[in-house]
Amino acid sequence: MADLENIESAFRSLLASLQAAKLYGLEHLLFKKSVENVYSSLHNILMEKKELVFGIVEEELAFGKEVFFDLSKSARPEILYLKSKGIERITFYIGMQKEELDNFIRFLVTPRAEIETKTSDHFALLGIKNISIGKLKTDISDKEIKVISLSNLYENSITKVQKTFTNILETETIDSLALRFSINNIMEGLTGKYQGILTLATLKTLDLGMYEHLLNVSILSMYFSSRIGFVKEDVLDIGVAALFHDIGRQYIFRKTTGRPAGPQEGVSALDESHTILGAKLLLRYVDTLGILPIVVAFEHHLKYNLKGTPKLFFPKKPHIASMIVSICDIYDSLFRKRGRKTDYSPDLIYNLMIKGKGESFEPRLIDRFFKIIGVWPIGSIVRLSDGRIAVVRDENEYDIFSPQVEVISPPEKKEFIDLKEKKDIVRIDGYINPLKEGKEFLDTVKVFCT
């Protein structure tokens, strides 16, 4: 079977040929060679798949439900060019000849004003029988497509996080430029999409392990820091620092067990030393990652009252980035326990964390965190006091226990309610765990909240 990497490579070569045609002209040797590359790539795949459909979803290149995020970013001019010509779908069929492909790419760079017939007739004149173009035809709604894109971005980022950690933990020397490029791609890919991905993370039914936790902490830290006024560059720096905050723990666990630490597995007696070890490991990459990840790795278990770890000879309040990451780290760790015997509902998590105000957490930061995230995060499935089931759609910063919700069950009683305005009539009576009794509502809620 043709694998996804070969399909992405074929897509890449097609866009490169389009670019060569636009830059160098249709008679240039580079264009002719590019057509040969595209034909070779597509021909090999079509021998197995018989048909290959590429799509443009919003501004992302896609094959089926897979979205090529990195390629989409580098090929944005070509994507916008194709969309300007009304092309959202390109289909190649088995039997396609190189002359057809050559004529197709020539068609793509021909101004519309110079084409006097409709596309199907023009293709017939050019002898293009095994290639077609058009709009996306799908039964999937725009919101569902957005869910798929965000979900793929999230899981793709987890894979990249894992590869980055493996490079640092198992390799003496790494390509620092490649590492920086990879990390920036992860962070910039998530920029502006934090809330949507946080909503999906709220509703996830599958535990993808420690790397999912690290990515969640990074996303949450970026969202929180952006909401309290940090500029984009600083938000990205905090996101990178959050990503590596527990690298010392990962290193120790790999050395002692030969595998990555799970999200609930600790290092007990070595718990204090992993913060020091993490900082030392990251010192090797200070030119690549900067100083902030070192500081956060060292301080993320240092409580606001300085009674955490490591023990300091010269007590000093933690860096604000460390305090942000500490809040997000503990919040996500507690949130992930909801699938286990002890069910940590959002209101229980709030009560547990707010007890640490002034001791574990800087008072203003922990208050601001819950004003932004709310007691009931966006995407939470809740039971109302009148028995209806609703999903949290937005927070009320000045009444964190009374968010804005949309009733989803029973269907005949659907409505949007601002609980702050109707707290004397209806309120949240309890949390419905999406890993347990809330499974039946997951698909509906994902489309609602993304």
Pairwise pLDDT comparison (184 vs 140), residue with the higher score: 184
Looking at the fold, whether 359 and 416 belong to one and the same domain comes out as: no
Question: What is the percent of the chain where pLDDT is above 70?
Answer: 83
Looking at the fold, whether 52 and 154 belong to one and the same domain comes out as: no
329-349 tens-digit pLDDT:
999 988 877 555 567 889 999
Across the chain, mean pLDDT equals 83
- Would you place residue 425 in the very low, low, confident or very high pLDDT band (cuts 50, 70, 90)? very high
Task: Name the nearest CA neighbour of 417 among 397, 433, 435, 402.
Answer: 402
Looking at the fold, whether 355 and 427 belong to one and the same domain comes out as: no
CA 350, 352, 353, 356 torsion-angle sign: positive
In the prediction, which pLDDT does 144 show? 59
In the prediction, which pLDDT does 141 show? 54
Q: Residue 272 pLDDT more than 60?
A: no
Whether residue 419 contacts residue 402, with contact meaning beta carbons closer than 8 Å, is answered with yes
CATH number at residue 159: 1.10.3210.10
In the prediction, which pLDDT does 252 show? 82
- The residue-averaged pLDDT of 239-258 equals 83
In the prediction, which pLDDT does 274 show? 84
In the prediction, which pLDDT does 269 show? 46
Q: Which of 86, 108, 134 is the last residue of a domain?
A: 134
Pairwise pLDDT comparison (422 vs 287), residue with the higher score: 422
Q: Which of 86, 103, 134 is the last residue of a domain?
A: 134
Looking at the fold, whether 359 and 390 belong to one and the same domain comes out as: no
In the prediction, which pLDDT does 96 show? 93
Pull the structure tokens for residue 163. 């590869």
Please tell me the total count of domains within the chain.
3
Burial 396-429 (b: 16+ CB within 10 A, else e): beebbbbbbbbbbbeeeeeeebebbeeeeebebe
Looking at the fold, whether 182 and 327 belong to one and the same domain comes out as: yes
Domain span at residue 394 reads 381-449
Looking at the fold, whether 289 and 175 belong to one and the same domain comes out as: yes
- The residue-averaged pLDDT of 2-25 equals 87
Pairwise pLDDT comparison (150 vs 395), residue with the higher score: 395
In the prediction, which pLDDT does 76 show? 83
- Would you place residue 291 in the very low, low, confident or very high pLDDT band (cuts 50, 70, 90)? very high
Pairwise pLDDT comparison (38 vs 69), residue with the higher score: 38
In the prediction, which pLDDT does 260 show? 57
Q: Residue 48 pLDDT more than 50?
A: yes
Pairwise pLDDT comparison (298 vs 309), residue with the higher score: 298
In the prediction, which pLDDT does 351 show? 95
Looking at the fold, whether 236 and 305 belong to one and the same domain comes out as: yes
- Would you place residue 182 in the very low, low, confident or very high pLDDT band (cuts 50, 70, 90)? low
- The residue-averaged pLDDT of 341-367 equals 91
In the prediction, which pLDDT does 413 show? 86
Cα(225)–Cα(294) distance, integer angstroms:
18
In the prediction, which pLDDT does 1 show? 44
Looking at the fold, whether 91 and 212 belong to one and the same domain comes out as: no
Looking at the fold, whether 343 and 411 belong to one and the same domain comes out as: no
- The residue-averaged pLDDT of 66-92 equals 84
Whether residue 432 contacts residue 409, with contact meaning beta carbons closer than 8 Å, is answered with no
Pairing between β-strand 51-57 and β-strand 89-93 as defined by DSSP bridges: antiparallel
Looking at the fold, whether 265 and 353 belong to one and the same domain comes out as: yes
154-170 tens-digit pLDDT:
777 788 788 788 878 77
Least confident segment among 41-50, 303-312, 409-418: 303-312
Whether residue 322 contacts residue 299, with contact meaning beta carbons closer than 8 Å, is answered with yes
Locate tokens 């060292």: which residue?
Answer: 298
Report in angstroms the alpha-carbon separations of 120 from 81, 104, 126, 183, 207. Answer: 20, 12, 10, 44, 48
Looking at the fold, whether 174 and 269 belong to one and the same domain comes out as: yes
Q: Which of 347, 373, 399 is the last residue of a domain?
A: 373
115-151 tens-digit pLDDT:
656 777 788 888 899 998 887 655 445 555 566 667 7
Looking at the fold, whether 153 and 42 belong to one and the same domain comes out as: no
Using a cut of 0.75, tell me whether the model's pTM lies above it: no
Question: What is the percent of the chain where pLDDT is above 90?
Answer: 33
In the prediction, which pLDDT does 174 show? 61
